[in-house]
Amino acid sequence: MAGVPVLAIGPHFFEILPLSLQTIEEQTKVSWPATKRFGVGPARQFTGLDEDSFEVKGLYFNQEWGGHDDYLALKATQMAGEPVELLGWSAGGLVASVFGTVVILEVSASHEHIHEDGIGRKVEFGVKLASFGGDGGPFGGLF
């Protein structure tokens, strides 16, 4: 059922096909450094939010349904160095939620069963994102 978006990173849509979204990994962090005290053990003090991480993983089968051009477009957006919006859709793709402005830190791929054009018949990819604003980011409470 291609054509129903699940997630968008800027102009890049992840659907059932061709860029199949498989997993989303997120991690939120806060800082609690230890402060040494005289005569007793250290105590921790909350000093604020730390950097959250968010990674999208998926796969595509270029010879069957395409996807490699979409993957290369993700890399082009990363290399442009421009922040983009992270959007998610509800069931049916009728309503979008804006999670915030993000930057693309890493884009990676693992090619299997290499075709004669040098592209894997099965390609697993990953996109690591970070919040652009530094105001807690979109990830703390994304899901």
The model's confidence at residue 124, banded by pLDDT at 50, 70 and 90, is very high
The residues facing 133 across adjacent strands are none
Give the rounded distance of the alpha carbon of 112 from its chain centre.
Answer: 22
- pLDDT tens digits for 62-118? 888 888 999 999 999 999 999 999 988 766 656 778 888 999 999 999 998 888 888
CB 83 within 8 A of CB 112: no
96-101: long-range contacts, CB 8 A cutoff, minimum separation 24: 96/8, 99/138, 99/139, 99/142, 100/131, 100/132, 100/133, 100/137, 100/138, 101/131, 101/132, 101/133, 101/138
**pTM recorded for the entire structure:** 0.78
Q: Which residue has the higher pLDDT, 29 or 15?
A: 29
